Chains A and B, each alone.
Chain A
Amino acid sequence: MISRLSDDRSRAAIAASIERRRVDTRGLLFKTILQSCLLITLALLAVLLVTVVMDSTDQLGTRLWDFLQGTLRSRSEDDRLGIHQGMYGSLWIAIIVAVLAFPIGIGAAVYLEEYAPRNRFTSFIEVNIRNLAGVPSVVYGLLGLALLLNGQIFGLDRLTGGSSALSGGITLAILVLPIVVITSGEAFRAVPIELREGAYGVGATRWEMIRTQVLPYAAPGILTGTLLSMARAVGEAAPLILVGAISGRLGDNPGLFDISALTDQFTALPIVITSWTVQSGRDVGFTAAAAAAIVVLLVFVLMMNSAAILLRNRFEKKRG
């Protein structure tokens, strides 16, 4: 029989069995390890950021405006050295990616998640899209080279002007397309079944249900995914090298929003950074220029992130 609580002896036994609080050494050790992991991550980032910013002061601190307006030069002391052409390329690559990859990727995801029947064929397609997202970016560069520059297919090179910001943008749009499809698909899958049933229950068609429930609910998730893919596209250098981004001298500065320069020879921020870093071996002054270009690229990405976060918050507020 179980002894009752009123039994004094059992009270003492209970006290003895539960009053055993001690220091949990293993738990503390575990927590400390986790904290150091975080600390290492932060420290590395901080070192990177601090060195880059410090190195960049030679350019950004003394001649910020000239640097932003300047062009690619062969000597680091050149007064006209600057980042403008890289900014033009990266800006338009971002715009082309947004215009091409986002609608096509989101559309493909809507079809795959909401319309396509679930069978072996569609899951085969899905697995392959996931694989495509993991394909090294150089391979996409080769695709861009064949498709847009060499004119092997459809003679597209006449349209893109060969090596151009347009070619680079299209190549990177293809690169991020699978990522957009996957992240959007995940956002659609997170839409609660209750919302779908509620819409169907009052006589909505599938399209109406998707338009009024699925898309608004999934919007923040889609936005997060597209933002990540955009940051990836803007940071890529390898595919751009293959589609012929210029790292040496380039012609005149196009206006930042001059569309006619889209089919001209181009460069982009990651290419400029790589090229200047390589050149710093013979001309130390390029170290500061490369660091300054990195800061410009970081600010660029940061601005895009903030815009996306603001938009996402607005969508989420709407979602209630």
Chain B
Amino acid sequence: MSMTEEAPRVFERPVTAGEPSAAPGIPPLATERDIVFSSEEVNVYYGSFRAVRDVSFDVRRNEIMALIGPSGCGKSTVLRCYNRMNDLIKDARVTGTITYRGTNLYDERVDPVEVRRRIGMVFQKPNPFPKSIYDNVAYGPRVAGQKKGLDDIVENSLRKAALWEEVNDRLTDSALGLSGGQQQRLCIARAIAVGPDVLLMDEPCSALDPIATARIEDLMQEIKQDYTIMIVTHNMQQAARVSDTTAFFTADIGSENDTRTGILVEVDATQKIFSNPSDERTENYVTGRFG
């Protein structure tokens, strides 16, 4: 079921000129226009403590990038830099540059609220609002000032999130009555409803059973043609199944005071990370020898 073409957009998405006309089988070369995120030497501090050190990598459009690594390696912290979610944490500070389609996200002229409309987020624990299913999905467009056409947006977002068939007869029921997997798909629909360009997913399946997880993974594959997705996951099989590119992080234990700082070990095509990684630490992790 592909409703994507006729889905009305609340916001213009940035137009990417020069669609790569790739012949089947041959992956298109990444051009500068394909780069959605470019990060250079990103450091995240909580007060004086450096939680993440010198992270640099690019994310290309319509790809699913997985961030993997052991607990405490700063994956989620890194992910939250990409929609300025770290702004909400007291004392958190980001240095280095993260550009989103050429604009520095941390430029003082940038409005974090506008950033979050373009770069949506799905959280670890399904967090539907204590409102009806309809009101959950319509929430984002409403705070953006949209009053008309909400019915269409809600329907299209729910269809894209593969939830429409299950809930279309009870849109006014409380979202809290849904199962965990349905709630998480509702959260995806809620994120989609504002017409974002990128979806950041912070361990979206960690609270779900395998069947619900499989549904979310299928969904990611389906919506990937419309969005760029970054996903943090603890589940290596999940990263291997869904992602095109994988970034492996680990925690660097400080020699002096036993502090853990997250560092990026390597970024590569997912297939390569899981079959023939360049770094020994990555190999040890993906083969289950540590972490």
Contacts and interface: CB of A to CB of B under 8 A. Distances in A.
Interface string A195-232: 11111111111001000110011000000000000000
Nearest to A205: B113
Given A197-B85, A197-B88, A203 B194 contact: yes
B291 interface: no
B143 A203 contact: yes
Interface in B73-89: 83, 85, 88
B147 interface: no
B138 to A, nearest CB: 10
A118 interface: yes
Interface residues of A, number: 22
A189 interface: no
A205 B130 CA distance: 19
Interface in B109-124: 113-114, 116-117, 120-123
Nearest to B200: A201
A212 B139 contact: yes
Interface in B99-147: 113-114, 116-117, 120-123, 125, 127-131, 139-140, 143-144
B193 interface: yes
A194 interface: yes
B230 to A, nearest CB: 14
Contacts of A217: 130
Contacts of B66: none
Nearest to A209: B143
Given A197-B88, A208-B143, A319-B130, A203 B113 contact: yes
Contacts of A204: 113, 139-140, 143
A320 interface: yes
Interface residues of B, number: 31
Contact of A198 (B127, B144, B176): B127
A200 B111 CA distance: 12
Contacts of B129: 195, 198-199, 212-213
Contacts of A120: none
A201 to B, nearest CB: 4
Contacts, number: 73
A318 interface: yes
A177 to B, nearest CB: 28
Interface in B166-187: 174-177, 187
Contact of B90 (A118, A198, A199, A205): A118
A195 B88 contact: no
Contacts of B36: none
Contacts of B176: 320
Nearest to A201: B121
B130 A202 contact: no
Given A118-B90, A203-B194, A318 B130 contact: yes
Nearest to A198: B127
Nearest to B114: A203
Contact of B144 (A196, A197, A200, A203): A203
B117 A203 contact: yes
A205 B139 CA distance: 12
A204 B112 CA distance: 10
Contacts of A201: 83, 85, 116, 120-123, 191
A205 B123 contact: no
A202 B174 contact: no
19 contacts: A195-B130, A197-B88, A197-B127, A198-B129, A201-B85, A201-B120, A201-B122, A201-B191, A203-B143, A203-B194, A204-B113, A204-B143, A208-B143, A212-B143, A213-B129, A216-B130, A217-B130, A318-B130, A320-B131
Given A201-B191, A202-B117, 4 more contacts: A197-B127, A199-B129, A199-B143, A320-B174
Q: Which 4 A-B pairs have the closest CB atoms?
A: A202-B140, A203-B117, A194-B127, A201-B121
